[in-house]
Amino acid sequence: MNQRLRVARLFFCRHLSSAHVLGLLCLLCAVVVMGTLAAHSDRTGFQRAYARHSDGEFVMPLAVPNGGTAHQIVWDTISYRQLHSSTALGGGLLPMRMVALWLAFLLPMVGLALSFNLVSGDIESGVMGSLLSLPISRRTLGLARLCGEGAALLLVLCLGLGGIALVSSNICRVGWSLEQLVRLAHFLVLVGLYTGIFYVLGAWISARTRSSAKALWIACLLVASLFLGSTAINHAVALRASDLGIPPRASSEVLRYLYRQRVAKGIVSSPDDLPESVSEYFENLSVYSQVLSERLGARYQRERWLAVISPAHLFLGMANQILQDHYPTATRVAYAPSRPLKPARLSTTWMSILPEFSWLVILLGAAVTAYARTLRQLEI
Amino acid sequence: MISEQAVVVHAEGLGKQYGASRVVDNVSLRVHRSSIFGLLGPNGAGKTTIVKMLTGLTRPTSGTIRIAGHRMTGAAVNAKRALGHVYSNMAFYRHLNAVENLRFFGGFYRLGAGRLAERIADTLEFVDLWQERKKRVGAYSSGMRQRLGIAKALLHDPAVLLFDEATNGLDIEGRDDICELMFELRVRGKTSLVTSHRLDEIELLCDEIGILDKGKLIEQGSPSEIQGSLDGVLFKYVVRTDQPIDVEDVPGIASVRFLGQRNVVLSGQPLRDVLGQRFGADSVEEVRPTFEEACLWILRHRPNPQ
């Protein structure tokens, strides 16, 4: 064990000084800073709107009610408010939620890009000859290398995502509660695990093909299939959107009122001041949102199996659960912005995503085993 | 009589098969302490495969290997500790400098930080790279990389050094540098096994030589023994004449090289009288075949043992 740690430390130190890792750090920092700046921009926009009324009062939904069907309006309203309300209230996880969407595809690319030539690159450059003639077993060499370089990668991910998220959120005054910090730490664990799978997978492909060019092609195919597969699944799922029920229909009078308010950036100080038809519409919308929330939750449970075949869905599903416990609170947040958010307890969140988490661990274990076996049989 | 303890590299019945192709076939080698053993052979003879088996890069299909008394099986940690490996086009991490590279590779030998730093300084001095130690290895010439390879191989002070075509691709100066270092190592009591297809280099360096052909060891001995083994078998004549001799003209000639004013004739039978009658007795001179000619003769004419 000591020897493995020692060897892992050697690879860790060497890998930290490589240009790839430093480049990755810059990339992640840029992604997080962009996410935070976007959140900051939205937040200041909302702050202006909130500043015009006292806390606890009803706030007019800001979605633009022009064009499209009522269904789309509801969706826009819910998602818009749900997405932005936490930032408006000073929540720090919003940038991470926005970033999570990019990371679902970026992390596999990062993992594969850093490992597609892990073995083949060394074989091609000739360094593998020196490594394999070192007085350690191939198992130790392979696993310690994965651990050492993987730890360097994890450090960079934590610095690039966690560290920069904290720094840039503070600069942009997007606050963090203790609960959110703990959730951020859990999110980073998920990021590490998710990236680790693709990192080891890339290393295995590299050892199997023994050619960086071939490994790169396979890695590109993997990323493409990840993206195309996920898009295809999204389309297939969207086609079955009718199971979410029919939303309340907005009359032309309601639409006209909402549009006028939007143009005038009008704020209504109390729901009592709303015209009766609009009040009724919002009442119906609230009822529908409750139904929608339950159905979304049920749909999430029903479609969990997607995670088995689509890593991007797996990651996003888990990230959403960890970062905001998405489904149970989605619609409530939209219509009760001044009420403090009470996300599900972390233990409950983890229990709910345990199957997906176990699946990730199994995938990682399988990839490590395949890699170790291939390395043991490697001859140069 | 050399004792068994003096044998540092001992390979017995070594074989390697890739699918239906047998690359190394029943090769046995003994390399004695403080000597330089050369493995000679044309491309594809199996030299590099043997070195790879000796260093543990490839597992033999059959046979056993002992390095400094340790068996080369499994992880072979002790056997590998006794080895230093220098191969053609040595590769290092290009973004690191010489010291950082040596510190990385030396870290696997449990030398301790102080001892490792000392060894790095010693070996870099030995290969004359101390002045260049802070330069990125990516900016090194091939000769400098090979010298750094020797420094890397010497870091842990191994009993045996394997040079696998270590001078390939180097210019004359680079080759001379490497050969000088090999000599120096021998003076310091190191045992070396050298593979090369450069016959002059092997003759110059080695105490003992093994000639490989198609995976089999067809001849083994010192350079003079190998030359001597062809006494009465291979004949060489220098015929002074302005005209090139046609092989077909004189029966028994194996090869002729025309060098302007003279022809160099090699034959498997005595031809002095025949050549004397044809070109004049004074024009024909019998000389001893060179080591290079002897090796080439062995490779071309000695039947490969089945």
Question: Looking at residue B55, which CATH number applies to its domain?
Answer: 3.40.50.300
- Token look-up 């720094």 returns A167
How many domains are contained in chain B? Answer: 2
Residue A380 in contact with partner chain B when CB distance is under 8 A: yes
Q: With bands split at pLDDT 50, 70 and 90, how would you rate the model's confidence at A240? A: low
Average pLDDT over residues A42-49: 56
Average pLDDT, chain B: 88
Interchain CB distance below 8 Å, A10 and B91: no
SS3 string of chain A?
CHHHHHHHHHHHHHHHCCHHHHHHHHHHHHHHHHHHHHHHHHHHHHHHHHCCCCCCCCCCCCCCCCCCCHHHHHHHHHHHHHHHHHHHCCCCHHHHHHHHHHHHHHHHHHHHHHHCCCCHHHHHHCHHHHHHCCCCCHHHHHHHHHHHHHHHHHHHHHHHHHHHHHHHHHHCCCCCCHHHHHHHHHHHHHHHHHHHHHHHHHHHHHHHHCCHHHHHHHHHHHHHHHHHHHHHHHHHHHHCHHHHCCCCCCCHHHHHHHHHHHHHCCCCCCHHHCCHHHHHHHHHHHHHHHHHHHHHHHHHHHCCCHHHHCHHHHHHHHHHHHHHCHHHHHHHHHHCCCCCCCCCCHHHHHHHCHHHHHHHHHHHHHHHHHHHHHHHCCCC
Backbone φ and ψ of A42, nearest 5°? -65, -40
Is B294 within the bounds of a domain? Answer: no
What residues are paired with B164 via a beta bridge? Answer: B87, B195
Range B224-236 average pLDDT: 88
Categorise residue A279: left if φ over 0, alpha if ψ from -120 to 50, beta otherwise.
alpha
Same domain for B258 and B149, yes or no, is no
Give the H or E element holding residue B209.
strand B208-213
Q: Is residue B107 part of a domain?
A: yes
Residues B74 and B119 in one domain: yes
Distance of CA A47 to the CA centre of its chain: 25
Answer yes or no: is B302 within a domain: no
Non-local CB neighbours of B29 within 8 Å, separated by 6+ positions: B9, B10, B11, B14, B37, B50, B210, B217
| Strand pairing class (B262-267; B235-240) | antiparallel
Q: What percent of chain A has pLDDT over 70?
A: 69
Please indicate whether residue A20 or residue B223 has the higher confidence score (pLDDT): B223
- Higher local confidence (pLDDT), A67 or B66: B66
> Best mutation site among B18, B21, B57 for testing chain A: the one with the most A CBs within 10 Å?
B57
Q: Which residue has better confidence, B220 or A342?
A: B220
pLDDT, position A335: 38
HSE, CB side, 13 Å, CA atoms: give it for residue A81.
24
Same domain for B143 and B179, yes or no, is yes
Say if B108 is an interface residue toward chain A (CB within 8 Å): yes
- What pLDDT sits at residue A343? 56
Put simply, the chain B residues between 198 and 237 with a CB less than 8 A from any chain A CB are none
Instruction: Give the whole-angstrom CA distance, residue A4 versus residue A137.
Output: 10
pTM reported for the whole predicted model: 0.77
**Is B124 in the same domain as B191?**
yes
Domain membership of residue B190 as a residue range: 4-227
pLDDT digits (tens, 9 = 90+) for B67-83: 988 998 877 888 999 99
B135 and B99 belong to one structural domain: yes
End of a domain among B227, B254, B275? B227
Q: Are residues B196 and B277 in the same domain?
A: no
Least confident range of A14-18, A50-54, A303-307, B282-286: A50-54
Boundaries of every domain in chain A: 2-376
Chain A hits for B16, Cβ within 8 Å? none
Q: pLDDT band at residue A334, thresholds of 50, 70 and 90?
A: very low
B163 or B75: which leads in pLDDT: B163
Residue A224 forms contact with B (CB below 8 Å): no
Cβ–Cβ gap B91/A136 under 8 Å: no
Average pLDDT for B74-95: 87
Judge if B35 and B71 occupy the same domain. yes
Between A45-54, A250-259, B147-156, B210-219, the lowest mean confidence (pLDDT) is in A45-54
pLDDT above 70: percentage of residues in chain B:
97
**Residues B126 and B36 reside in one and the same domain:** yes
What tens digit of pLDDT does each residue of A358-379 get? 999 999 999 999 999 998 888 7
> What torsion do the CA atoms of B254, B258, B262, B266 make, to the nearest 10 degrees?
-10
Please check whether residue B99 lies inside any domain of the structure.
yes
Q: Look at residue A228 and tell me whether its pLDDT is greater than 90.
A: no
How long a stretch of residues is chain B? 306
Residue type, B111: L
Question: Is B125:B188 a contact under the CB 8 Å cutoff?
Answer: no
Please check whether residues B75 and B128 belong to one and the same domain: yes
Report whether pLDDT(A203) > 90.
yes
Contact yes or no for B95 and A125 at CB 8 A: no
For the residues B35-46, what does the mean pLDDT come to? 90
My answer on whether B124 and B203 are in the same domain is yes
Q: Are residues B55 and B180 in the same domain?
A: yes
- Number of A–B residue contacts, CB under 8 Å: 71
B204 in the same domain as B249: no
